[in-house]
A and B are shown apart, each in its own frame.
Chain A
């Protein structure tokens, strides 16, 4: 059984293989070969127990371009919203003969539970679980960074990347810290101390509370979504103060290196963590991240599902 549950399941070579494969997938998608027969006859279930239109559509597009049959199993109106347990859902998917389940879930570790249980035998792909990980997002971010900040191949050695904002609650940040450092980049987390996880000192990253002092050295600035409700949990005083110190605005963008890029996994809070003029600027690769997402997810599906034993991911 082959899964992609966490970036920590990947070796550096495997991560590079996914990114290299994604280049060819992108080339195929850009060219005339829009639809590939590779996964013909395979059934992939999009199990989205938490709303996420963009990730679900991205995986769906990737699977369909590889000719897989896609079944969408969403939160609203599905048995999941009627209190069905993860176990019963898994047993149902097994009975339907799903070759792979792409799961988005509000509970950290739900994909691990699905993969490690005897409930189903197909591949499990983590499409974001709670505040744990979002491996495909990190891979598409690395793909995007590699395209803009390197000669196009290999790893990310020597690059300096800032991840800014609510690291504590961000699965995107956790996966990116693991992947970008695996690929040799130097990652700096920039956030108020309230939004950094306990024990973050043990992570392979630099830490800064001072965005302005770090931003001139960065090749890529990755902004994280900040949820308004964090204010009531006392993580910061108010939106204005947050934006003042940790938002990316025009003045800060002007401090950035030439050719450095601005990223955001979406959905954005324009005016809170990022201003509209920055989001829409020439440095912003936010829209491109979305299209790269399809290529990277095609690569993941291909490498996990096309062959006999898998070359990537956890073997459970």
Chain B
């Protein structure tokens, strides 16, 4: 098992992503951040804090649980649902930034796009990701990437965050061959 990102590197990556989001969207006024639970939700609130301090604003931030939209439900035991909390103003006409920890097959993001379609019609949907580990199975790419970490399919990528795991780090380990 090796550390692919340290706490400091994570922090720097999030700061950079925040700046990139503001730059690409010409400021914060039309942004809505939606984190995908569990860890994407924590990353979203961290990015929101950074953006708020850079731009002196109060960017709407929420969570989007995509479990009920997954296409692989039949393949695993059912899992507990996490909260979906859409900011009061909704997402119609907003520039929605979806935030997750790891981008892998792209299926989670597909499910998230389906879920967003049920909720409203954003002006744009962009994707911010802490780690892109490759192996996409769908035509999906991230707009903002903390770090590209090339991996073998058999490896596991684990993002630890202080909110849930006590400390910040990204670990890559050899996994079982599936």
Contacts and interface: CB of A to CB of B under 8 A. Distances in A.
A adjacent to B, CB under 8 Å: yes
Interface of A: 17, 20-21, 24-25, 27-28, 31-38, 66, 302-304, 306-311
A269 B69 CA distance: 42
A28 B84 contact: yes
A139 to B, nearest CB: 15
Given A20-B81, A307-B77, 12 more contacts: A27-B84, A28-B68, A32-B90, A37-B69, A37-B114, A38-B68, A302-B68, A302-B81, A303-B78, A306-B74, A308-B74, A310-B78
Chain B interface mostly helix, strand, loop or mixed? loop
Contacts of A34: 118
A307 B118 contact: no
A307 B80 contact: no
14 contacts: A20-B81, A27-B83, A27-B85, A28-B68, A31-B84, A32-B86, A32-B120, A33-B118, A66-B68, A302-B78, A306-B74, A306-B78, A307-B76, A307-B77
B138 interface: no
B76 A24 contact: no
Given A33-B84, A302-B68, A307 B73 contact: yes
Contacts of B115: 33
Given A38-B68, A307-B73, A33 B119 contact: yes
B79 interface: yes
Given A31-B119, A32-B86, A38-B68, A310 B81 contact: no
B82 to A, nearest CB: 7
A24 B114 contact: no
B120 A308 contact: no
Contacts of A311: 77-78
Given A33-B119, A35-B118, A37-B114, A310 B68 contact: no
Interface string B85-99: 110001000000000
B100 interface: no
A226 B115 CA distance: 45
Nearest to A22: B81
Contacts of B80: 17, 20-21
B75 interface: yes
Contact of B119 (A21, A32, A37, A302): A32
A192 to B, nearest CB: 43
Contacts of A307: 73-74, 76-79
B73 A306 contact: yes
Nearest to B115: A33
B101 interface: no
A277 B74 CA distance: 48
